[in-house]
Structure 1
Amino acid sequence: MASFAPVQRLVISIAVLASFVTFLDGTVVNVALPAISREIGGGITTQQWVVDAYLITLSALILLAGSVSDAYGRVLVMRIGLIAFGVASIAVAASFDPLTLIIARAAQGAAGALLVPSSLALITATMRGEVQAKAIGVWTAFTTGAMLVGPLLGGLFVDFLSWRFVFLINVVPIAITLVLLSRLHLPEHERTAKVDWWSGALCALGLGAVVFALIEQPNLGWQSPAIWLPAVVGVALFVMFLLRQRGTSAPLMPLWLFRVRDFGWGNLATLFVYAALSLNGFVVGVYLQQGAGLSATAAGLASLPMTILMILLSSRAGAWAGRWGPRIFMTVGPIVMAAGALLLLTVGAAFDYWWQVLPAMIVMGLGLSLTVAPLTAAILGAIDEKHSGIASAVNNAVSRVAGLLVVAMLSTIVGGALDLGGFHNAAWVTASLLVLGGVVSWIGIRRNPAEVAPAEAAASDLDPR
């Protein structure tokens, strides 16, 4: 970070560390799920809730958190988020039954929602132009690094200490960030944004009720009022949330954004692609331990080639997409990933990582490298700079909701048990979702990033405000 001024280096360090803990927590948990299930019980349902309780509050509140950050101050909101995340992490590690663990995970997600938008807002508020772009590049590189170290660290802690230490990994970076934050002195920004608490509540309760129904449905059946009633109420609340976004002067999720072609179709592609990635990450992390008998560390290392390829190649794919447009990469990338997912069908009772799993991880890594940067460029490049913050937050929320819903439907997807047959079922569903992502991209994505200027003008014209 030699090209940055001292205060800019401090801001970037704070932003990276604050976001790192939320990304790290999202990647370490999959390898810890079998150990959690063995110790506190609950089977696959508890495993689903450990992941989804975090994603429900994170997904539902991340849009609201952006407004809160603007209204009450980015530094204050980040400080509150860091402290709350640390306390929730300790509560997760100390949990003694499934219910307390799930509640603590939900609290973690709510705290994490305060960190991502406020960390990026610190960068966008203190830097402009090329410096800002470089800073966001640094932020992206380091937060992507959480994907690399998360499963490995999680596996090591599970194998040599306890799954509880997986959730205490966050405490050290949180403490460092709080110290750095105390040294940061920025001029107060104008706080004119209104916070639409009702929209945040409708979104959180709606998503929560639908996910509850999807997770518990295999246990109770759709005929049970404890299932169909939350499902109906959840859908109704989410519809009310969408209707409120049309009528309020300061929406959390401006619906006009989706009328911009590349933004709308790009987010639909995001929904399919990130649902597939979440399903694959969950199933591989759990099955390689419970079905194939690998240690948590080995299971954490299993998907490492995929992440390494993404880190090495994604920036190059972004440059290619800038030259030739994102459409071809957003089409080919998910289809290549689908081929990788189908390679997992070679996993059999006589397990061999090198011939059955590694080829799939390499092919999926190549496809992912072709997809991520062009997808981000297409979506954010379709929206003018004035609305780039909310556009990024919406896309982030869509990717989280995709993972939330597919994990909630896991029992239905695998047929009730994550055995070899269930693992193969998940591979088919993963491949199907990825093919849908590629097809949607081919149909919907049109604009080349070189045409951003006219796109910005068109997007601004659509803004009813």
Structure 2
Amino acid sequence: MSSSLPSTTEVTHAPTTNIDRAAALTLTTLVSCEVMLMLDGTVINVALPVIRNDLGFSTAGLSWVVNAFLLAFGGMLLLGGRAGDILGRRRIFLAGIALFTVGSLLGGTAQTEEWLVAMRALQGVGAALAGPSTLALLVVSFQGAAQTKALGIYSSMTASAMTLGLILGGVIVTLASWRWVLFINVPIGLLVLLFARRFVIEPPKTIGRFDLLGATTSLVGMVGVVFGLVRTADHGWGDRLALVGLSVGVLSLVAFVLVERTATQPIMPLGLFAERSRAGAYLGLLLVPMVTLSMQFLLVLFVQEVSGFSPLEAGLTFLPMAVGLLVTAQNAARPLGRYGAKATAATGVVVILIATAWLTQISATTGYLTGLFAPLLLAGAGLGLVVVPLNVTIMSTVDPKDSGAASGLLQAIMMAGATLGVALQSTVYTSAIEGVPRVAGTAPTAAAIAEGMSSGFLVSTGIAALALLTVLFALRSPAANPTDGDLPTER
């Protein structure tokens, strides 16, 4: 498959092809797996205040309930993608789902902070094995117009799951217990294992070996950076251990790039960045989740701690975001075909930028309908317009033999963005709160919490602006005026 962007457009707008029953079951199994993994990244967010009270987490330590999963997921995804290529994508897919299911079961029984964080990390490892193989299996199971249709369904459903997880989390915490946000994965995981054995085929393997040095340096790099950011939330930027973590993380990521340049079979082939639009799409998928996932992290705390919402009400708060995302993601193919990936994605980022700028005005008196509803709707709508063109730009321009590495990198970058975003915003938020004077030993006031939120959203606005510049300068533009429904030639 060509690595040039025109192939993206040719694939995207081939004549419509129906997906038969067997293929539909394959698609359902793969999408169900990915939806479960994406749900788990956010479904626990609504339960965070309850978990903190139950197990005694600190404000900064609480972010590790989210980050332990995201960090293990993001850090191991590159190795998981290459493992699928070499050992068999279906085999690694099944192993990953099994690990994830076990981690969910054991995490639901947690009685201590350390046990819950450890099981969240185990879930992340399982997700890192299953996730890349999910997308790689989808790409090799469908061709032409059927592949485009499958990628569209996959992109919209998985992106929506990250927001719908907040709503589901609210329902579960209200009707049952926070533990069921983990237990619910067990029956789903077992069903995915059952159906995958029957309906998902094993494609040919790639002969090769693992790039263990690359996997190690990437994992140490991510752990170091995120640990350093989270540590500063509790101990400040002058903390030696935080500075050591950040230094080790940055140096390890530099070493990772150097290792990948000389590795015989790198887990992150640098050739994936050789094409400008694909490299820009990868960078966009790093920056956008930094904004949207940290937005959810902050607002979950705001509506419960300032507005006094119950977990169910907090989950339902994000319904506008889910609706906006579903509508635009399901219909993104039309503007993508008419105006191209650059214009479609740029429009989405602008909408997200407006939402974050709006939220910088948040205060202790901000009401849901007057101050949160519209920004959430805009953020979801913008996300739907971003994720589909960037996913299609990446996956439809990669050589099939590198599909596992490409999909692993895609998901690793998104999870890295989400992890860094939550860690960064946790640091900014906590630092801002600590800067507001209060009586020693008392809880932060609503005004202090709102000020911390406002500082966080100011940072998010800057990241969204950087994402917009990335899309505008990296993705290619249409060379001619297209007719409706035709894909524009990119240059």
**TM-score normalised by the chain length of structure 1:** 0.90
Displacement of 1:97 after TM fit? 1.8
* CA distance in 2: counterparts of 1:96 and 1:399, whole angstroms: 31
* CA distance in 2: counterparts of 1:11 and 1:196, whole angstroms: 30
- Asked if 1:406 is matched to 2:421, the reply is yes
- Asked if 1:29 is matched to 2:59, the reply is no
* C-alpha contact 2:349 2:464 (8 A) present in aligned 1: yes
Q: For structure 1, which segment, 124-133 or 419-428, has the greater mean C-alpha deviation from structure 2 after superposition?
A: 124-133
Q: Identify which of 474, 478, 489 aligns with 1:444.
A: 474
Please give the residue correspondences for 1:321-400 in structure 2 after superposition, counting only pairs within 5 Å: 321-380=336-395, 383=398, 387-400=402-415
Please give the residue correspondences for 1:56-75 in structure 2 after superposition, counting only pairs within 5 Å: 56-75=71-90
Q: 1:381 to 1:82 in 2, by over 3 A?
A: closer
Aligned to 1:147: 162
Q: Identify which of 107, 116, 121 aligns with 1:101.
A: 116
* CA distance in 2: counterparts of 1:269 and 1:136, whole angstroms: 18
Q: Identify which of 232, 248, 270 aligns with 1:217.
A: 232
* C-alpha contact 1:35 1:163 (8 A) present in aligned 2: yes
Letter of the structure 1 residue corresponding to residue 226 of structure 2 = V
Letter of the structure 2 residue corresponding to residue 393 of structure 1 = G
Aligned to 1:231: 246
* C-alpha contact 2:133 2:404 (8 A) present in aligned 1: no
Letter of the structure 2 residue corresponding to residue 445 of structure 1 = L
* C-alpha contact 2:131 2:411 (8 A) present in aligned 1: no
Q: For structure 1, which segment, 204-213 or 339-348, has the greater mean C-alpha deviation from structure 2 after superposition?
A: 339-348
Letter of the structure 2 residue corresponding to residue 281 of structure 1 = Q
* CA distance in 1: counterparts of 2:375 and 2:292, whole angstroms: 13
Q: For structure 1, which segment, 17-26 or 186-195, has the greater mean C-alpha deviation from structure 2 after superposition?
A: 186-195
Displacement of 1:111 after TM fit? 0.4
Q: Secondary structure at the match of 1:88?
A: helix
* C-alpha contact 1:203 1:238 (8 A) present in aligned 2: yes
Aligned to 2:463: 433
Aligned to 1:422: 452
Q: Identify which of 101, 104, 115 aligns with 1:86.
A: 101
Aligned to 1:252: 267
* CA distance in 1: counterparts of 2:328 and 2:234, whole angstroms: 43
Please give the residue correspondences for 1:443-462 in structure 2 after superposition, counting only pairs within 5 Å: 443-448=473-478, 450-451=488-489
Displacement of 1:340 after TM fit? 1.6
* CA distance in 2: counterparts of 1:75 and 1:344, whole angstroms: 43
* CA distance in 1: counterparts of 2:125 and 2:231, whole angstroms: 22
Q: For structure 1, which segment, 24-33 or 362-371, has the greater mean C-alpha deviation from structure 2 after superposition?
A: 362-371
* C-alpha contact 1:62 1:117 (8 A) present in aligned 2: yes
- Asked if 1:270 is matched to 2:300, the reply is no
**Cα distance per residue 1:257-312 (max 9 Å; x no partner):** 32321122333333222211121011111211122111111111112112212211
* C-alpha contact 1:60 1:207 (8 A) present in aligned 2: yes
Q: 1:190 to 1:109 in 2, by over 3 A?
A: closer
Q: 1:156 to 1:85 in 2, by over 3 A?
A: same
Q: 1:191 to 1:392 in 2, by over 3 A?
A: closer
**Cα distance per residue 1:128-169 (max 9 Å; x no partner):** 222333333333344345235422221012123211111111
* CA distance in 1: counterparts of 2:383 and 2:142, whole angstroms: 30
Q: For structure 1, which segment, 289-298 or 361-370, has the greater mean C-alpha deviation from structure 2 after superposition?
A: 361-370
Q: For structure 1, which segment, 198-207 or 245-254, has the greater mean C-alpha deviation from structure 2 after superposition?
A: 198-207
Q: 1:188 to 1:395 in 2, by over 3 A?
A: closer
Q: 1:4 to 1:336 in 2, by over 3 A?
A: closer
Aligned to 2:210: 195
* C-alpha contact 2:363 2:451 (8 A) present in aligned 1: no
- Asked if 1:111 is matched to 2:141, the reply is no
Q: For structure 1, which segment, 187-196 or 264-273, has the greater mean C-alpha deviation from structure 2 after superposition?
A: 187-196
Displacement of 1:75 after TM fit? 2.5
Between the two proteins, what is the percent identity of the paired residues? 29
* C-alpha contact 1:17 1:174 (8 A) present in aligned 2: no
Displacement of 1:230 after TM fit? 2.5
* C-alpha contact 2:99 2:126 (8 A) present in aligned 1: yes
Q: Secondary structure at the match of 1:252?
A: coil
Letter of the structure 2 residue corresponding to residue 421 of structure 1 = E
Displacement of 1:31 after TM fit? 0.7
Letter of the structure 1 residue corresponding to residue 108 of structure 2 = A
Aligned to 1:18: 33
Q: For structure 1, which segment, 353-362 or 323-332, has the greater mean C-alpha deviation from structure 2 after superposition?
A: 323-332
* C-alpha contact 2:217 2:253 (8 A) present in aligned 1: yes
Unaligned ranges ≥5, structure 2: 1-16, 434-447, 479-486
**Cα distance per residue 1:46-79 (max 9 Å; x no partner):** 2211111111111111111111112222222122
Q: Secondary structure at the match of 2:332?
A: helix
Q: 1:413 to 1:440 in 2, by over 3 A?
A: same
* CA distance in 1: counterparts of 2:18 and 2:398, whole angstroms: 28
**TM-score normalised by the chain length of structure 2:** 0.85
Letter of the structure 1 residue corresponding to residue 260 of structure 2 = Q
Displacement of 1:206 after TM fit? 1.7
Displacement of 1:379 after TM fit? 4.1
Letter of the structure 2 residue corresponding to residue 131 of structure 1 = A
* CA distance in 2: counterparts of 1:269 and 1:147, whole angstroms: 17
Q: 1:395 to 1:207 in 2, by over 3 A?
A: same
**Cα distance per residue 1:146-194 (max 9 Å; x no partner):** 2354222210121232111111111111111122234347466345132
Displacement of 1:100 after TM fit? 1.4
* CA distance in 2: counterparts of 1:185 and 1:300, whole angstroms: 34
Q: 1:217 to 1:145 in 2, by over 3 A?
A: closer
* C-alpha contact 2:97 2:130 (8 A) present in aligned 1: yes
Displacement of 1:20 after TM fit? 2.0
Q: 1:378 to 1:188 in 2, by over 3 A?
A: closer
Unaligned ranges ≥5, structure 1: 456-465
- Asked if 1:290 is matched to 2:298, the reply is no
Letter of the structure 1 residue corresponding to residue 38 of structure 2 = F
